[in-house]
Structure formats: C-alpha cells, structure tokens
Structure 1
Amino acid sequence: MRSHTRVHTRGSGQAGRAVALVADVLALVIALWILLYLLEANQGNGLVDFIHDAASWLAGWSYDLFTFSREWVQVVVGYGTAAVTYIVIGHAVAGWLYRR
C-alpha cells in the first residue's frame, strides 16, 4: 500500500509541475507582449503579430476590465491582470496538487 501512495504522490507532483509550467508559459506570453508593446516593436512583424494575437486571446477577459486614458497603462494593466491571475491561480492549483 505504501508504494501505491508514493506513485499517487509522484503523479500529483508531476501534475502540479505541469500546471505551474503551463501557467508560467501563459503569463510569459502576455508579459512578452507587454514588453514588445512598450518597446514599440514592429507590429507588422510576424512574430510580434503572433505574440500579440496569443496575448490578446489569453487576456481577452481582462483587457477592458479597467479603462485608462493612456494607452500604455491600459496595455500594462489590462494584460498584466491576466498574467498575474494565471500565475496566482496556476501556482495555487499546483500547490494543491503537490500536497495531494
């Protein structure tokens, strides 16, 4: 029975790491878009366009949550809210899986 518990714990730990990794990657994509925006990256570039599209999809629920008169603040807060949420929730779920 003890070996079964170890397997279950190991599986939960691996699942926790996977959830944390996914949350980090999602937040990284959003943070990369914020950085590219602030650095005024060429939005005609294919990679910049891809990152923008991915970040816009990931942050679609949070982008217009607050409105600001300055566009750069809107981008940082709108996208940043999503990035922080993914990290907080993702790592909370990962921690829960680690403890299982």
Structure 2
Amino acid sequence: MNTYLNASLRNQSCPAPTNDGVIPLFSICRCLLFIQSGRDCVAQQYASATTSVENAASAIARSKDIEWTGNAAEWFRSTLDRTAYTIRMLADDMETTQRLSMGA
C-alpha cells in the first residue's frame, strides 16, 4: 500500500491560499491525504471482502441441507463448521479494522 500511496501523492502540489488568505486543510499536511487514501482503500477492501464472506456463508448454509451419511459426510460437515467459524472470525476482524481505520 505504501508504494501506491507514495507514487500517487509524491508529486502532488499543494493548493495556494484562497483570496482571504486561508490555506485549504489538505494543503497543510500531506499526512491527511495519506490518511484519507488509506481509509478509502480499507473501505473498498472491506466492501469486497464482506461480499465474499456473505457468499461463503450462504454456500455453507446451503451445503448443510445435503442429505448424506457416512464418514465422508461427517468429515464434510465438520469442515463446513470449521470454515463457518473462520469466516465469522474474519468478519469480526474486518469490522474492527474498518472501525479503527475510520477513527484514526
């Protein structure tokens, strides 16, 4: 991410003060540009990952309805349960990351 930010912001010039002498907020410190760019990146990735998590959870729910017995079926359902747990943990971590990035 730093490479992208450095390349995209390295040569940006800061805006000149307005007629009343006020300097626009983002011209004071380029850090604010980096913060907003980082927040935008996190928000975009969060939206994409949320869609993937929802799709995976839906597929797991549908897979549980398969009528199947035996050792392979038990192993399959156990794997689905572990995967569903991992997905829930990922969703929680994504939510925390999103919340923290917006408050920085």
TM-score, normalising length from structure 2? 0.50
- Compare relative contact order (CA 8 Å, sep 6+) and give the higher one, 1 or 2: 1
Distance in 1 (alpha carbons) for counterparts of 2:57 and 2:32: 37
Q: Where does the alignment leave 5 or more consecutive residues of structure 1 unmatched?
A: 42-68
Matched residue, 2:87: 83
1:26 to 20, 44, 52: 52
Equivalent position SS for 1:40: coil
Q: Which one has a bigger Cα radius of gyration?
A: 2
CA RMSD of aligned residues (A): 3.1
| Deviations 1:31-67 (CA, angstroms, capped at 9, x unpaired) | 12212202339xxxxxxxxxxxxxxxxxxxxxxxxxx
**Count of aligned pairs:** 73
Percent identity (aligned): 4
Distance in 1 (alpha carbons) for counterparts of 2:100 and 2:45: 11
1:38 equivalent to 2:71? Answer no
C-alpha contact 1:27 1:83 (8 A) present in aligned 2:
yes
TM-score, normalising length from structure 1? 0.51
Matched residue, 1:15: 41
| Deviations 1:71-98 (CA, angstroms, capped at 9, x unpaired) | 5752442121121122111122222221
Q: Where does the alignment leave 5 or more consecutive residues of structure 2 unmatched?
A: 1-23, 68-72
Distance in 1 (alpha carbons) for counterparts of 2:93 and 2:76: 25
